[in-house]
Amino acid sequence: MSSAAAVPVPVARSGRTVRRVAIIALVWFVVAVVFVTQNYLGVVTRHEKPRWLFVAGLEFEYWLTFFAFTPFFAFMARRFPVGGVRTASALWAHAIGGVVFALVQPVASDALQYVTLALVSGTGNPPEGRLAGMVARYPVLAVIALWKYVVIIGVYHAIDYYRKYREHELRAAQLESRLAAAQVGALRMQLQPHFLFNALNSAAALTLSEPARAHDVLAQLGALLRETLDSGADADVTLAREVDFVDRYLAIERVRFEERLAVRFEIPEDVRDALVPSLILQPLVENAIHHALAPLASARTLIIRAGTQGDLLHLDVEDDGPGLPPNWTFSESARTGLANVQARVNLAGEVHRPIEFRSQHGQGLCVRITLPLRRAGGTAR
C-alpha cells in the first residue's frame, strides 16, 4: 500500500513540470511570431521579395536561445529580487548576469543560425562575409541582448509582485472574514446568556405564585432555545425567520403580562426575504418590554416595523412607554443588549450607521436600526 501511494507524487510533479515548460515555450513562441510578423512586414514595405521560411527560421532560432536561457532568467530573478534591504547587491548581481548573458547570447544565436544555413546550403562553409559581419555587429547585438535581459527580469518581477499582492489581498480578506465571524460569534455568546437570564428570571418570578404559568414560560423557553440551536452559527437570517424568533420570545412575555401586552407586526411581504443579522431584534424588543412596558401600567403597545428606502432596510421597535430620560446618551447609558446590536449593525455593512432613538418624554420611544438591503439568495437592491 505504501509504495502504491507514493507513485502519484513524482507523476504529479512531472506533470506540473511539463505544463510549466509548455507554457514557457508558448510564451517565447508568441514573442517569436510577433517579431517574425514585424520582419515580414518590413520586407514587404521595402518591396522586396519575401523569403518567408528564411525570415521565420532565423527569427525562431534567435528566440530559441532565449527559451534555452529561461532557467537562468528564473534563477537570477528569484535569487536576487530587487527591493528591500538587498537591492544594491541584487542590482550588482543582475549587472553581472546581464553582461554574461549579453556576451553569450549573440554567439549562441549566430552559431545556431550558421549551422542551419550550412545544412540548408549543403556545405560546411559559412556564407561569404558572415563571420566578418558577425564581428562587426557583435557590440550592437550584445547591447540589445543586455537590454532584453533587463526587460525580462523586469517583467518577471512585475508578475511576481502582482502575484504576491493578490495573495496578500486574499489573505487580508480571509483574515477580515475570520475576524468578522469571530466577532459575530463573540457577540452572540454575550447576547444569548443575557436573554436567557432574563427569561429565567421571568419564570422564577412566577414559580411560587403561578406555577402553571411558570411551566408554560419554561416550555416556551425550551422551544425558543431549540430554535436558537437549530439556527447554528448563521450570522444572517431572513427577516421572516427573525420575526418568527421574536414572536416566540414574545410568547414567553405574554404569559407574564397577559392582556397588558399588545404586539403589532408591520412587516411587508416584499421585505420578508431580506437578510438581517440573527438575533438583531430580540434585544430591542426585550428593552422595550422591561424598560417601558413593565414599569408603566398604562403602557401596553409594542410595534415591530420594517421598511425600505433605496438600498437600505429600516427596522423599528416602537413602544408607548415613558420614553428616554432627559439626559440619556448611548455612550454612557447603553447596556449589553444595545451595545451588541450596534456592534452587529457595524459588522453588517461598510458604512457604520448608529442606532436612532426617536423619543418624546412620556410619549414612547422608537428605536431604528438601518442595514444594507440584501436579499436571500445573494441579490441586493
Structure confidence at residue 6 (pLDDT): 43
Q: What is the mean pLDDT of residues 328-346?
A: 78
Residue 312 pLDDT > 90, yes or no? yes
Long-range contacts of 195-203 (CB under 8 A, 24+ apart): 195/249, 195/279, 195/282, 195/283, 195/286, 196/221, 196/225, 198/286, 198/290, 199/224, 199/249, 199/252, 202/252, 202/253, 202/256
Residue 248 pLDDT > 80, yes or no? yes
19 Cβ contact list (under 8 Å, min separation 6): none
User: Regarding predicted confidence, which is higher, 380 or 319?
Assistant: 319
- Which class in CATH covers the domain with range 234-372? alpha beta
Residue 255 pLDDT > 60, yes or no? yes
Q: What is the mean pLDDT of residues 57-71?
A: 86
pLDDT band at residue 128, thresholds of 50, 70 and 90? low
pLDDT digits (tens, 9 = 90+) for 14-38: 677 788 888 888 888 888 888 888 8
Q: Which three cell numbers stand for residue 240?
A: 421572516
User: Regarding predicted confidence, which is higher, 202 or 311?
Assistant: 311
State the span(s) of the chain assigned CATH 3.30.565.10.
234-372
Count, in order, helices (H) and strands (E) of the chain: 11, 7
Residue 136 pLDDT > 80, yes or no? no
- 41 vs 364: CA distance, rounded Å: 84
